[in-house]
Chains A and B, each alone.
Chain A
Amino acid sequence: MDILSTKKKSAPKYGRRKFVKNLFAMIASALVPGSLVAREKRSDKPVLTLANGYKPYDHNWGMGVDVNKCIGCGRCVEACKIENNVPRDPFFFRTWVERYRILEDGEAVVDSPNGGINSFKNGPGEKAIVRSFFVPKLCNHCDNPPCVQVCPVGATFKSPDGVILVEPDYCIGCRYCIQACPYGARFLHPETRTAEKCTFCYHRISKGLAPACVEACPTHARIFGEVDKKASPLQRFLRMNKIAILKPSLNTEPKVFYANLDMEVN
């Protein structure tokens, strides 16, 4: 009783109204910032719009290659060199085509003369060929890219739409990324002395166009599109075919998917 009475005496200075008001203010100050941050986190992806209206966060690009459809004409290699100003010399390729010939005794003979840009010629072989096929190669735009991991200055990076790009202004030309790429998809541009690679023709896809190699392919062996969106032609390709990727043991998670790939290909 004593205690209660003393409390009542001091109460007028700190009345019930004020107490309730402060209680609300306290609870609100604890919850409001948290809920605001949470709302921000809940709202989808960050918004980034390029000058041409392209929104990188809305996409996740990949490519499908149907080995059975490739005829080894080399138009994709030619288109890529023209579109991206790749040096014409036979040492620099953003994409190339390999020919595999499996001989009678099981031996696999692989070649890619000048990246297959002038197609392939049949040489006089001593052994009979059991089967033969062409495999277009390019940067796999890995989801877990070793080249991005090793770049000392962060010049090579995974853009929000899953495309692996190189920022030549930052690249110091140390070539660690070239060493780290398991697919041989990178080279050092002899003029700029910076690392170069396939960009999925970023200047084209950000305008809604297909990469040059896809557009040039006469047999639709290459399919470009969204990896995640149900309606994309790539998704259909992934549903309709048995799919393989290159060097799966390295856990690079490539986003170039091959249909009808032979076990000889690596």
Chain B
Amino acid sequence: MEDVINHLEPLLRKIQGYIYPNEIELHWGILIVIYPYVTGLVAGAFILASLVKVFDVKELQPTYRMSLLTALAFLLVAPLPLLAHLGHPEKSFEIFLTPNKQSAMAMFGFVYAWYLMAVLLLEIWFDYRRDVIVWAQNERGPRRWFHRLFSLFSSDLSDRALKFDRKSVQTVTIIGIPSAFLLHGYVGFIFGSVKANPWWSSVLMPIVFLFSAIVSGIALVMLIYMLVTPMRRKEMDMRCLDKLASFLFYAMIVDFSLEILDFIHRIYESEESIGILAELASGKLFVSLVVIQLLIGMILPLGAIAVVKLFGVPAELRRLLYFVSALLVQVGIFSTRYNVVVGGQLFSKSLRGLTSYKMTIVGVEGLLMSIALLLLPFVILYILFNLLPPWTGTGRGLMTPPEGSQK
């Protein structure tokens, strides 16, 4: 109790105008910023993977498994910030046992479980099954045991079985695309359906969330590919990178258009909240909204990729531009999440004043915890890359490229 009071005390002096007295405490902080950011990466990475299987974009084959494992690593971390943020994490299972069917949030557990079990794990299992069996045959020790366990002790390598694997991957991917849309569109709905909050309440929210998710997912896989490939001392596949950049570019254009539409719509309708929202956007949110989200996170990378597309840029410079763009996009999308979640709580529902958000350094909702939560998926990804190498022809001499992934 002491630390809550000590944290709130200085915020009293930072109030501008009038806010309801209960609004001084800002309830959804940095952890709730991380949650939609991370689920967005999951959905985006998965949709990128499905481009290969469903839409048959052959150039992206080198990133197919990488995207799946990235989605898995981030999905495993996604519930952690939520859990850490709860006042009573020990009671969180109540969401499964006695869900309130009217509540958007109550569906989280079911959407999450569906996505993890019925989509992601299933697709990874079917896609890796053949390779894992082959690996297990040539290994010993705990690695062998892990791979045998992962394949659920199946050993059928007949043509019929492999054909079934391929068909299953196809089917799961087709189910997976709407599921990925559901996973992140649903997160957008959690915010978009709060009618009390004019900054959130928008029917566009789930769609904006979705497209920003696709943007962030593609950019993340691009970054991981560009970091991991030199680490393995391999040549980067420029055709793959160019294709990634193209998809990133298109997704960003849609995302940008939606955001602009939202902006114009708000200004044109000019409801009673417009005054305070304008004050918010031009004041407390100016740096994170206009400078970071819009300029650095959107216009700059869009411009960079447009330059690459318009003018013949040598491969070396192209890689650099792609890398920087993908990095800026990550910063921009994180900022987008911040502007939605924290921005939506910086103004009073009395529409008469603004409050402040102050992040702590230590503590469950602090900066260090946030950094740890953002690094954790990369640790998981490192382990996954080691146990289930997503690249074909590894130095381990374990395998030849499977037919399934050569398609």
Contacts and interface: CB of A to CB of B under 8 A. Distances in A.
Given A170-B91, A175-B87, A179-B28, A152 B99 contact: yes
Interface residues of B, number: 46
A152 B106 contact: yes
Contacts of A74: none
Interface string B342-356: 000100111110000
Contacts of B4: 190
Interface string B184-207: 000000100011110000000000
Contacts of B103: 149-152, 154, 176
Interface footprint category on A: 35 or more
Contacts of B350: 110, 184, 266
A89 B92 contact: no
Interface stretch (A5-13, A17-25, A46-54, A91-99): A91-99
Main secondary structure of the interface of B (DSSP, over half): loop
B106 A173 contact: no
Interface string B55-92: 00000000000000000000000000010011111011
B25 A91 contact: yes
Nearest to A197: B22
A93, A98, A150, A151, most chain B CB atoms within 10 A: A150
Contact of B100 (A90, A154, A187): A154
Contacts of B104: 150
Contacts of B372: none
A179 B27 contact: yes
A184 B20 contact: yes
B87 A172 contact: yes
A182 interface: yes
Given A92-B22, A173-B87, A184-B22, 8 more contacts: A110-B350, A149-B103, A153-B91, A171-B87, A171-B91, A179-B194, A179-B197, A184-B348
28 contacts: A91-B5, A91-B21, A91-B22, A91-B24, A96-B20, A112-B18, A115-B21, A137-B20, A148-B102, A150-B104, A150-B105, A152-B99, A152-B100, A153-B91, A153-B94, A153-B95, A153-B100, A154-B99, A170-B94, A171-B87, A173-B88, A174-B87, A175-B27, A179-B28, A180-B194, A184-B21, A186-B22, A266-B352
